[in-house]
Amino acid sequence: MTDHFQALENYFKRIARIDHARTFLQWDHMVMMPPGGNQSRSEAMAELTALRHEMLISPELGDLLGRAAEGLQDPIRLRSLQEMERMYKRAICLPAELVKAKSLAGSICEHGWRSQRKNNDWQGFLANFQEVVRLAREEAQARCDFRPGHFPTPYDALLDLYCTGDSSSFIAGIFAGLKRELPELVRQVVARQKTETIADLRGHYPIELQQQLNRELMICLGFDFDRGRQDVSAHPFSTGGRGDQRITTRYRDNDFLDALLATAHETGHAAYEDGLPAEWDGLPIGFARNMCLHESQSLLFEKQLFLSRSFITYFRSAIHRLLPATAEFDGAALWAATTRVQPSFIRVEADEVTYPLHVILRYEIESGLINGSLLARDIPAVWDAKMIQYLNLSTEGNYTDGCLQDMHWSDGSFGYFPSYTIGALNSAQLFAALRRNHPDWQDLLAAGEAGFIRTWLKNNIWSKASSMDSQEIMQAASGEKTNPDYFLNHIRARYLEGLN
């Protein structure tokens, strides 16, 4: 029996080693590779991806899994087996032709999107996108059919890939609360901020000095450069493997705050990955739980920690030292400049107060698309109506800044958007629990001490990996499941009362 389970673990560890190769080749592709390498890199990646898929759907694995539960009593192993089965079922439930068709339609649509967005060409996009939606619905149905009764709606079957454990009805309840409160809150914050004078932080900030500043921030946040790297890429991201977390940042020479925020954010992602238990390395039970928790870690580092009044006041001295042109901005000025709220068209540029409304809009549209209550061709009208309702902005005829702005849907990644906002809610809720545990948190951050945050997160989130469901983790860490009140309280405190 033990030997049998060992064989199963070894099987998944082999898959994880192929994934290690894919991860770092992908990093290289984004950060290092010259354009001439594209063709052979794409071929190699496709080969490894196919190989991984073959390993995951092989009868050998099905057989190992089928016989594993027999006599298994250790609760951790039972849980480990459950996570292995989740990974196996996710792969084997889709017919090979569907996987291929999806990949093809996704890359055609995404490729077209790059120019169609620029050209405000909704009709051109729609022509490709309808096939993507059709295949995504087929995928959702296939996932439902494979596990009868498991997913309450087809959309849940896709949501499960990113927000594993958080159902659409659970999320809908939470989003309903946010929709009730946020539009009015946004109005109040905007009105309040109208009375404030905000320093203009733009200037000339040499990239090399910004790099050093961001490196200092990472060290201050506990990043270990013996176990990771920071590089430059067109869009900030984080990736990596055991003992080797890699984040990227991009720099603009007229702005230093954007890069610092991105660095804090990606450092949070990297911290979660680096804090996963070594003994579960390569096993599904050892993976980060879901994207809602992943995003909660990055947002906790970015919005709760870095943007806290105490920390930014502390870190200001490093900013002044490396970028002397910032000397005129004190802690309050920096804090005020980084916490501006303004309804706007673009999600990725939105402040933390309006951001959830962008996500709720997308959630409502994509769930309708997959569950069949909305057709792709009706997206622009619905988008415009909801933007007016939530943010009082019209996108009529403006697809570039409306429904064509994100890449997610073009390649068929439906179900991802909610994780941004559930992550934001989780981060506020976890930080509130953390503050209860450390009443002196402001003194600690004002002294540049972030170690207590890492320790608490390691004990309560990172070390759990996938050994519990996401809401079990939230419950154990914070005393309750995801509850939007913590986020709303955080927004009120920071933006209406000028606290934290």
Contact range with a copy of itself by CB under 8 A, out of 134-142, 235-243, 301-309, 443-451: 235-243
| 284 belongs to the binding site for a copy of itself (CB under 8 A) | no
- Burial group, residue 498, by CB count within 10 angstroms (0-12, 13-18, 19+): middle
Footprint on residues 425-454 left by a copy of itself (CB under 8 A): none
Residue 91 CB, shortest distance to a copy of itself, in Å, is 19
| 30 belongs to the binding site for a copy of itself (CB under 8 A) | no
Element (H, E) at 238: strand 238-241
Contact range with a copy of itself by CB under 8 A, out of 21-29, 63-71, 110-118, 312-320: 21-29
313-344 in b/e form (b: 16+ CB < 10 A) is: bbbbebbbebbeebeebebebbbbebbebebe
Q: Residues touching a copy of itself: how many (CB under 8 A)?
A: 34
| 244 belongs to the binding site for a copy of itself (CB under 8 A) | yes
Distance from C-alpha of 416 to C-alpha of 435, rounded to nearest angstrom? 29
Query: How many other CB atoms are found less than 10 A from the CB of residue 67?
Result: 13
Contact range with a copy of itself by CB under 8 A, out of 222-230, 328-336, 377-385, 393-401: 222-230
* Residue 477 to residues 1, 171, 383, 414, Cα–Cα distance (Å): 34, 19, 37, 29
Residue closer to a copy of itself by CB (options 24, 237) is 24
Residue 280 CB, shortest distance to a copy of itself, in Å, is 13
Residue 22 CB, shortest distance to a copy of itself, in Å, is 8
Distance from C-alpha of 381 to C-alpha of 441, rounded to nearest angstrom? 47
Query: How many other CB atoms are found less than 10 A from the CB of residue 279?
Result: 10
| 318 belongs to the binding site for a copy of itself (CB under 8 A) | no
| 119 belongs to the binding site for a copy of itself (CB under 8 A) | no
| 385 belongs to the binding site for a copy of itself (CB under 8 A) | no
Residue closer to a copy of itself by CB (options 18, 172) is 18
> What are the helix (H) ranges across 93-223?
96-118, 122-146, 154-162, 168-194, 207-220
Contact range with a copy of itself by CB under 8 A, out of 45-53, 148-156, 417-425, 484-492: 45-53
Smallest Cα–Cα separation from 303: which of 453, 406, 485? 453
Element (H, E) at 247: strand 244-249
Contact range with a copy of itself by CB under 8 A, out of 15-23, 185-193, 301-309, 489-497: 15-23
Local structure of residue 252 (DSSP, 8 states): B
Choose which of 1, 6, 7, 32 interacts with a copy of itself (CB under 8 A): 32
Contact range with a copy of itself by CB under 8 A, out of 40-48, 320-328, 454-462, 468-476: 40-48
Q: Is 328 helix (H, G, I), strand (E, B) or coil?
A: coil
Residue 231 CB, shortest distance to a copy of itself, in Å, is 9
| 243 belongs to the binding site for a copy of itself (CB under 8 A) | yes
| 281 belongs to the binding site for a copy of itself (CB under 8 A) | yes
Choose which of 33, 72, 93, 325 interacts with a copy of itself (CB under 8 A): 33
Q: Cβ distance 175 to 363 under 8 Å?
A: yes
Residue closer to a copy of itself by CB (options 44, 393) is 44
Residue closer to a copy of itself by CB (options 278, 439) is 278
| 287 belongs to the binding site for a copy of itself (CB under 8 A) | no
| 207 belongs to the binding site for a copy of itself (CB under 8 A) | no
| 35 belongs to the binding site for a copy of itself (CB under 8 A) | yes
- Residue whose entry in the numeric block shows the structure tokens 């997206």: 379
| 226 belongs to the binding site for a copy of itself (CB under 8 A) | yes
Residue closer to a copy of itself by CB (options 38, 107) is 38
| 241 belongs to the binding site for a copy of itself (CB under 8 A) | yes
**And the tokens for 426?**
């989780």
Task: Dump the DSSP string for 27-60.
Answer: HHHHHT--GGGHHHHHHHHHHHHHHHHHHHT-HH
**And the tokens for 197?**
């004078």
Q: What are residue 20's phi and psi, to 5 degrees?
A: -55, -50
Q: CA Rg, the chain, in Å?
A: 23
Query: How many other CB atoms are found less than 10 A from the CB of residue 206?
Result: 14
- Burial group, residue 123, by CB count within 10 angstroms (0-12, 13-18, 19+): exposed
Q: What are residue 248's phi and psi, to 5 degrees?
A: -130, 155
Q: Which amino acid is at 403?
A: C
| 58 belongs to the binding site for a copy of itself (CB under 8 A) | no
| 165 belongs to the binding site for a copy of itself (CB under 8 A) | no
- Residue whose entry in the numeric block shows the structure tokens 């990644």: 413
Residue closer to a copy of itself by CB (options 44, 199) is 44
Residue closer to a copy of itself by CB (options 29, 408) is 29
| 121 belongs to the binding site for a copy of itself (CB under 8 A) | no
Choose which of 86, 229, 435, 481 interacts with a copy of itself (CB under 8 A): 229
Choose which of 4, 25, 89, 492 interacts with a copy of itself (CB under 8 A): 25
| 147 belongs to the binding site for a copy of itself (CB under 8 A) | no
Tell me which residues touch a copy of itself (CB under 8 A): 14, 17-18, 20-21, 24-25, 28, 32-41, 43-44, 47-48, 51, 224-229, 241-244, 281
